[in-house]
């Protein structure tokens, strides 16, 4: 039996992780549940899972009588306080955005293992996160499907060097759109992801393909690979979740139907695979698997992210902060889709790249990037 904190319990990843807890009550106890603002949904989850502690980023108007005995934490640092109070064996970090970085760092202090979905924590604080994980010998188990695939392929590595990581990419909702139509794509167009059902922010990130750029940065940190050895390949069916190429030319792939409960369950159960009645892969029904090179002209954000990784320092933090600001504005209907890439580019051009030596440096660079991005958007932060 392992105790687990589900940080971001009300989200797409969080609720799917709780499905697994529900299925394996003898293996997992959800000991700490946290959420941003959705008090009602968190109350329901607390009622069902009876954790030791629960945290909400805001202060709710009331707490229902029956769940008052749970240890409650409210406010911006509620997540980290709840983690410290419960000290679970594992933490599933599934908060979206840089908002989850402090929780990842805290989880590395108090947990035996960190199950990482929150890619923005690695994009912005990657060197600090991996250094702390190494110093405390805490395994960082990837939950992002591509990184889980690579992690699974690397189980066959032994001491052999890796020549290349190949990240597959569905192409997002606008994969087949003409460039001239993309600028004015609506929130509705963009949220219609072809293969995965995810939170709003990451679905927009898939449509700009900045998500794949963030994942290149994530892979760089998780697997200590330079940007030059990480390639992206478009694969519309999302069946090959990613691949590893070795020096003899052998390529190992991890495959399965697109279902996040696969990678979430793999991280939760690691090193055991949890039996799960996922839809089996039917190769004959699929008939073919397609692959193509990414189109950098229609999807400039991918290249911007890879460049930011190569530049280093605060460049990935600037990219991420500008993206979070622009995606928020797009989801609120304040800017057209095409402005997202323009704002990221303009923010990267405008701001100096600074060295990052601490989490405080990361937050300072993030603040500066958001302010600048909102200025580009003609809005107040």
> Footprint of ligand NAD on this chain (CB under 6 A)?
8-14, 35-36, 38, 57, 79, 94-96, 99, 117-120, 144, 196, 198-199, 201-202, 260
Is the Cβ of residue 101 or residue 346 nearer to ligand NAD in the bound state? Answer: 101
Size of the site for Mg ion (CB under 5 A): 3
Q: Which stretch binds Mg ion (CB under 5 A): 47-55, 145-153, 285-293, 338-346?
A: 145-153
CB of 248 to ligand NAD, least distance (A): 31
119 binds, among ligand NAD, Mg ion, none (CB under 5 to 8 A by kind): ligand NAD
Q: How far apart are CA 241 and CA 188, in angstroms?
A: 26
Q: Which two tokens stand for residue 301?
A: 């954000």
Q: Which stretch binds Mg ion (CB under 5 A): 46-54, 133-141, 142-150, 317-325?
A: 142-150
Contact between 218 and Mg ion by CB under 5 A: the answer reads no
Is the Cβ of residue 9 or residue 301 nearer to ligand NAD in the bound state? Answer: 9
Is the Cβ of residue 8 or residue 316 nearer to ligand NAD in the bound state? Answer: 8
8 binds, among ligand NAD, Mg ion, none (CB under 5 to 8 A by kind): ligand NAD
Alpha helices, DSSP H, located in 143-260:
145-153, 179-182, 187-190, 200-208, 210-223
Considering Cα of 112, then 113, then 119, then 124, what sign does the dihedral take? positive
Residue found by looking up tokens 């590395």 in the block? 108
314 binds, among ligand NAD, Mg ion, none (CB under 5 to 8 A by kind): none
CB of 335 to ligand NAD, least distance (A): 19
Helix (H, G, I), strand (E, B) or coil at 344: helix
CB of 165 to Mg ion, least distance (A): 13
Q: How far apart are CA 5 and CA 235, in angstroms?
A: 33
14 binds, among ligand NAD, Mg ion, none (CB under 5 to 8 A by kind): ligand NAD
**CB environment 104-125: b (16+ within 10 A), e (fewer):** bbbbbebbbbbbbbbbbbbbbb
Contact between 144 and Mg ion by CB under 5 A: the answer reads yes
CB of 183 to ligand NAD, least distance (A): 24
Q: Which residue is nearest to ligand NAD (CB)?
A: 11
Is the Cβ of residue 230 or residue 329 nearer to Mg ion in the bound state? Answer: 230
CB of 203 to Mg ion, least distance (A): 11
Q: Which stretch binds Mg ion (CB under 5 A): 122-130, 143-151, 171-179, 320-328?
A: 143-151
Q: Decide if 369 contacts 97 (C-beta within 8 A).
A: no
Is the Cβ of residue 63 or residue 350 nearer to ligand NAD in the bound state? Answer: 63
CA-to-CA dists, residue 355 to 122, 224, 273, 305, 311, angstroms: 16, 19, 41, 17, 11
Q: Which residue is nearest to Mg ion (CB)?
A: 144
Q: For residue 168, what are the contacts with CB-CB under 8 A and spacing of at least 6? A: 146, 149, 232, 233, 234, 235, 238, 240, 241, 242, 243
CB of 189 to Mg ion, least distance (A): 20
**207, 237, 194, 243: which is closest to 223 by C-alpha?**
243
CB of 147 to Mg ion, least distance (A): 7
Is the Cβ of residue 33 or residue 373 nearer to ligand NAD in the bound state? Answer: 33
CB of 118 to ligand NAD, least distance (A): 4
Is the Cβ of residue 215 or residue 376 nearer to ligand NAD in the bound state? Answer: 215
Contact between 245 and Mg ion by CB under 5 A: the answer reads no
354-362 long-range contacts, Cβ below 8 Å, gap at least 24?
354/313, 354/314, 355/313, 355/314, 356/125, 356/127, 356/128, 356/313, 356/314, 356/317, 358/128, 359/101, 359/102, 359/105, 359/125, 359/128, 361/314, 362/98, 362/101, 362/124, 362/125, 362/128, 362/314, 362/317
Q: How far apart are CA 191 and CA 188, in angstroms?
A: 5
Please count the other Cβ atoms lying within 10 Å of the Cβ belonging to residue 184. 10
CB of 371 to Mg ion, least distance (A): 29
Return residues touching Mg ion (CB under 5 A): 144-146
């Amino acid at each position: 039996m392992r105790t687990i904190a589900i940080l971001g319990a009300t989200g797409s990843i969080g609720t799917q992780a709780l499905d697994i807890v529900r299925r394996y009550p003898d293996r997992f106890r959800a000991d700490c549940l946290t959420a941003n603002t959705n008090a009602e949904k968190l109350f329901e989850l607390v009622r069902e899972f009876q954790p030791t502690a629960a945290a909400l980023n805001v202060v709710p108007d009331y707490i229902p009588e029956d769940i008052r005995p749970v240890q409650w934490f409210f406010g911006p640092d509620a997540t980290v306080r709840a983690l410290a109070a419960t000290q679970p064996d594992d933490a599933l970090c599934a908060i979206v955005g840089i908002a989850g970085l402090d929780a990842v760092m805290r989880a590395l202090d108090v947990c035996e293992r960190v199950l990482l979905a929150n890619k923005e924590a690695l994009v912005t604080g990657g060197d600090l996160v991996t250094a702390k994980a190494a110093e405390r010998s805490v395994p960082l188990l990837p939950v992002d499907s591509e990184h889980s695939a690579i992690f699974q392929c690397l189980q066959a590595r032994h001491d052999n060097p890796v020549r290349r990581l190949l990240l597959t990419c569905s192409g997002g909702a606008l994969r087949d759109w003409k460039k001239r139509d993309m600028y004015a794509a609506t929130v509705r167009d963009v949220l219609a992801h072809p293969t995965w059902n995810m939170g709003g922010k990451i679905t927009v990130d898939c449509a700009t393909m900045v998500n794949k750029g963030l994942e290149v940065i994530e892979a760089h940190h998780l697997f200590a690979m330079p940007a030059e050895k990480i390639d992206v390949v478009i694969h519309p069916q999302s069946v090959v979740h990613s691949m590893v190429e070795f020096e003899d030319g052998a390529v190992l792939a991890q495959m399965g139907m697109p279902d996040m409960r696969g990678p979430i369950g793999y991280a939760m159960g690691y090193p055991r695979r949890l039996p799960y009645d996922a839809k089996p892969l039917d190769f004959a029904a699929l008939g073919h698997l397609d692959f193509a090179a990414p189109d950098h002209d229609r999807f400039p954000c991918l290249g911007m992210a890879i460049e930011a990784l190569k530049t280093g320092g605060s460049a990935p933090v600037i990219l991420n902060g500008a993206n979070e600001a622009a995606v928020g504005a797009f989801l609120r209907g304040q800017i057209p889709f095409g402005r997202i890439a323009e704002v990221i580019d303009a923010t990267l051009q405008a701001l100096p790249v600074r060295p990052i030596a601490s989490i405080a440096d990361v937050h300072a660079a993030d603040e500066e990037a958001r302010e600048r991005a909102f200025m580009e958007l003609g809005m107040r932060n």
